[in-house]
Homo-oligomer: A and B are copies of this chain.
Amino acid sequence: MNNYKLTIQYDGARYKGWQRLGNDDKTIQGKIENVLSELAGEKIEIIGSGRTDAGVHALAQIANFKMHKDSTEDEVMQYLNRYLPNDISVVDVSFVPDRFHARYNANDKTYLCKIWNEKYPHPFMRKYSMHVEDRLDIEKMRKASQYFLGTHDFTSYSNAKSKKKSMVREIYSLDIEENEGFIEIKVRGNGFLYNMVRKIVGTLIEVGLGEKDPTTIPTILESKERIQTGRMAEAEGLYLEKVGF
């Protein structure tokens, strides 16, 4: 039994997110499992480092799977890229020790949000960035970003359904830079709740537009009420950029 680690890029636009939903294959996990099961001649289950929401992209999602068949790394990579749709690419395959588990061993994740901040839409990146027409004040957004750093209960910043699981997460860094005309927001943390990145970015945009004062963020976090968070960033500008192990 070999344990394979996959590094995967995908354009999430057509999919209902990472996580397989029954036999529905309009998920990234579903598409990959179907192709791998064909290769393996047995039912294969892959373990992703975490879910990505519907529409969200990935630059380097990490997953692992085990199979009895003795394929080389190259064979697995070639088979996957031949039979997967063009909007999902496997950019690396490597053997890992039996104990490697893409979810349990993931230490941190970095999400990237690309914002196009011009009056006119970007013809080539319109499906891969969020378009904000009114000018954003980056300095204000940077000030606001400081309030998210560290360990917080992110109940207000999630649409997670479970009330039993802990909503406490730690944000290690939150950087806002201009890069080739785009405003790029990068947030790195030990884990993210359902919709959490999109809600944090949504608040930063409200601050950048002058609709919300940065100092309201601690109050929103303390309230633990979703109603207060307001705007949510569009999935099309959001990428899972990196998973740290």
**A contact residues vs B (CB 8 Å cutoff):** 9-11, 57, 77-78, 81, 86-91, 118-124, 126, 128
Contacts and interface: CB of A to CB of B under 8 A. Distances in A.
Contact of A81 (B87, B119, B124): B119
CB-CB nearest 10 A-B residue pairs: A89-B120, A81-B120, A11-B123, A86-B121, A9-B123, A87-B123, A89-B123, A86-B126, A10-B123, A124-B128
Contacts of A119: 77-78, 81
Given A87-B126, A126-B87, A81 B10 contact: no
Number of copies: 2
Nearest to A121: B86
A28 to B, nearest CB: 11
Contacts of A87: 123, 126
Contacts of A122: 9, 89
A240 to B, nearest CB: 12
Contacts of A57: 123-124
A150 to B, nearest CB: 33
A123 B118 CA distance: 25
Nearest to A127: B124
A74 to B, nearest CB: 9
B123 A88 contact: yes
Contacts of A88: 123
A86 B129 CA distance: 13
A90 B124 contact: no
Contacts of A121: 81, 86, 89
